[in-house]
Chains A and B, each alone.
Chain A
């Protein structure tokens, strides 16, 4: 049987793609597999065991850092999503007005400056405030995380708003609904997949942050990523693999939900 000439084919592309997928997943899979190693090594296999998961679970530093990460991510993602929703409502579905371009640029600013520069700037600024006020709690980390989460929360919400039909809200207004009522009864129910996507994106971004947290944190305020960064200099045991595996699992879970929410939107 003669094979048909496929105009889409490019020689070697499939091979390279397969190599890429293999290379992307091999290290991650290795990392996960060795989390279950019974021995002390991250390269020599000595049998299956959950000992490193137990050890991580009983390591108070790991547990404290995880709780701190979740606290910061919950607060930052929630606030970022609320203010990003408001900002998205204010910057979509309108004729251009003075300051609209400025708002876009300003909201996306944290994406355009290298993270290390923002980190340094916050280190300087917050160390001043720490001296002035004497406060050195988690508030600084929460504020910093909220700021860089806003653009991530804003993107899916704005995308969702722009694809929404305006006529329903106009109808609500015609029926004497107050703006708040129209939002709660009409806009919000249509918008919530975008809001949920924004919330999850912001949550993952906050959970993953290393650089800004490393510079802003005070003593004893390690989050899970900065704790792990501190461990890399030492002799590494599969405990780090166990922590990474759990972390990975949480991220994959959130990303999966996010992926299907945003895909569904495309098909509607």
Chain B
């Protein structure tokens, strides 16, 4: 006879086994069509590029070396080259600025929604949700129609006689900034709203009772209270902005590449899959660092906000 304790143990073990079986299909699909292939990228980054794309199965560190360096075609020496590094830097800079701009516009917007009466709130929230879930490509295209040479802005300005030649906005960093801020704004507003919804306005009232002015209340009471939302929103904007592909392709043109386009180039015309793999992994490493910082900052605040 088994003891009651053993029966219970058996049941617990069976339950865990069932739970693994139940989650297995999801885990297997993700492994086969997402995580597993990432491991292959690591292998490819250490191979030799094939003449027509793909790779030759010969070990080489050139893929990684050429992230930062250039091999001279005559004497085979490696020299430091900043072509790729400058695109990394551009991507980081533009993503950072996008995060700042979405925060500057998104914060008041989220605050405005959070301070509406409950009934109205849903309508405003819905107005943010619509662009959040509509196709990024269509939104990029919409902003393109506004700023291109034959677009609305230039046409109106010329008709009004303010300018005689269209202002070239497309294919500039300006276009990229406007476009990215536009497409990522809802990603900033929603997490900000989620944490503003929970603000206890008695704390704000206490601030005013202690003779704080509006700006002091904002800086000393509201912003500290919604800091988790600020961090979450910034992460949600910064990470996709860093890997952006569609927006820079449509608005930036070939001179204003970002990392995503540089990676694509290696798999297309560049025919350097190992370099493309090494660049992808570098991008992923940066994103992982950002996520890790995020997890740490949430962990630190977790106790206070429960």
Contacts and interface: CB of A to CB of B under 8 A. Distances in A.
A44 B155 contact: yes
Give the bracket for the number of chain A residues in contact with chain B. 35 or more
Contacts of A10: 108, 111, 214, 218, 222
Nearest to A16: B108
B287 A208 contact: no
A117 to B, nearest CB: 5
A154 B111 CA distance: 29
A110 B34 contact: yes
Contacts of A9: 115, 214
A147 B32 contact: yes
A118 to B, nearest CB: 6
B65 interface: no
| 10 cross-chain pairs, A with B, having the tightest CB-CB distances, nearest first | A114-B243, A17-B112, A147-B33, A121-B37, A27-B142, A90-B22, A125-B37, A13-B108, A87-B26, A16-B108
Interface string B128-166: 111101111111011111100011101100000000000
Contacts of B34: 109-110, 113, 118, 121-122, 144, 147-148
A83 B25 CA distance: 6
Nearest to B106: A20
A124 B263 contact: no
B22 A28 contact: no
A236 B198 CA distance: 46
B115 to A, nearest CB: 4
Interface of B: 15-16, 18-20, 22-23, 25-27, 29-38, 40-41, 44, 54, 105-106, 108-109, 111-113, 115, 122, 124, 126-131, 133-139, 141-146, 150-152, 154-155, 182, 185-186, 189, 201, 204-205, 208, 214, 217-218, 222, 239-240, 242-243, 245-246, 249-250, 259-260, 263-264, 267, 273, 276-277, 280-281, 283-284, 287-288, 291
A112 B287 CA distance: 8
Contacts of B36: 125
Interface string A222-237: 0001001100100010
A52 B217 CA distance: 53
Interface string A179-203: 0000000000000000000000000
Given A13-B108, A121-B41, A147-B33, A248 B141 contact: no
A101 interface: no
Given A208-B136, A208-B137, A258-B133, 16 more contacts: A14-B108, A17-B108, A27-B142, A30-B146, A42-B150, A82-B25, A99-B20, A107-B23, A112-B288, A115-B240, A115-B245, A120-B280, A211-B245, A211-B246, A228-B141, A255-B133
Interface of A: 5, 7-14, 16-17, 19-21, 23-28, 30-31, 34, 41-44, 79-80, 82-84, 86-87, 89-91, 94, 97-99, 103, 106-107, 109-110, 112-118, 120-125, 127-128, 143-144, 146-148, 150, 154, 204, 207-208, 210-211, 215, 225, 228-229, 232, 236, 240-241, 244, 247-248, 251-252, 254-256, 258-259, 263
A246 B214 CA distance: 45
Given A20-B185, A43-B151, A210-B246, A109 B35 contact: yes
A30 B142 contact: yes
